[in-house]
Structure 1
């Protein structure tokens, strides 16, 4: 198998590339480098600089590298930006996926893995979010992920493609410092940025109906997330080889909730920071609790998260320190 990994030079993408290589798979990366970095890729991994919106580049890459499977990670991922620029997000995420799926179908590729998100669920009022929990995204970003799932499944059914949609929960950590997240869009790097500015972490909302009043989330180590991609890609290849074209939709989380206050306390402990957190009002649209049920992925793929929250924070902090010069 030779897998095309779109967005493979990004934070998550580079971890998936690394995991696929360690598993003995061949990979080719397509990335426009708008947020990705070429230096994240191991030596020898072919990098095609371009967009999934460019059909000519897709056709050339698929033919020249004899691509037999696709892992689609490329896309725009900032919730706030998606509210400000919904047309841009639908163009990049949905139209880009449409162009890619057409190229995949025309090339006769029979397995396709799609990077989705827990944002498809919106504000679920359940203790554990299962894959059957109704989807009601709150942002254009989440809506593009849900629309992407619909499109992937429809194209798979129409063209005999085995497909998987992986719904990520809150990704953190780094397998190695050089692969760490250098963006400041998620809780852990946002808190580290506050520390660098000599300030305490900000906690938005302390009156939620949770044990300590702060939001509860399910955090997943990016290395575990990458391993889940390997397991899913291999399952799709197995189905495709047998002519058994199916769809798999699974959550990727640990099935354990951690509150924002608990995360901040752990980050303070890990970094030696002694500044008290700044308590602020709730942000609009933040659900009180979003925790994954991880039963289906265990049953379907035999996958289970191996890293705990302490490992996530420690590895993220090591990466943050190593990458200060790049921010």
Structure 2
């Protein structure tokens, strides 16, 4: 008896108890799986460059083990059963690797089924696999449609803030962390353009320039209290008035600007004693700027 097996039954009370326990554990064991493996290994064994003596020794070892499980007999019933088992082993060995679980299940039965029963079991398993494959193929379009709709819903853009949500990243309300524009800038919505073709909320530099140009014409009525700057503005006004006097067109706006400028300049002269000469353009070089 093997030492490891002997340790299991070392405390048996009697030899009868030991024999019963060994028979229950190993006596009813089906050796079909081991016989199948031995026959498969013997059929597929190749020398592969090994010495002939080594190759023969390995074959002899497997033959001897097979004789232990299948001792020589002249009983017709036993020989008939072994012939049927050999057909089952050959059939199972020829199956595809996808039937490995079924093959193991058949070989691990306490009693090896008949050849007809094994064929029926394999056929049922094949039908079951085909049905499962069809179901999986039918579910693939549904899964694709689900993920497509989910992706389309994410790409439809911003639909407003949701109450009760708070982002754990920016501490702002109305969205969760997985919808935060800071972490996911690709989720930021692109607002459609209005009827005028200008994007809402977009910055238009040309509009600002036009606005500055429009409001600059009214700047003649807003004068600074800086004496030097006031004199410069007055000189620029005289230059413009001289140019407008030679051209045709209404001068109402120019006259209004002149009245306002003269009033402002008169108020300045009445409230100030004088202007520093160096602050007046042209005085330091004795040149006429206007």
User: In which range does the TM-score fall when normalised by the shorter chain?
Assistant: under 0.3
In our comparison, the structure showing a higher alpha carbon Rg is 2
TM-score, normalised by the number of residues in structure 2: 0.17
Which structure would you say has the larger RCO, counting Cα contacts within 8 Å and 6 or more residues apart?
Answer: 1
TM-score, normalised by the number of residues in structure 1: 0.16
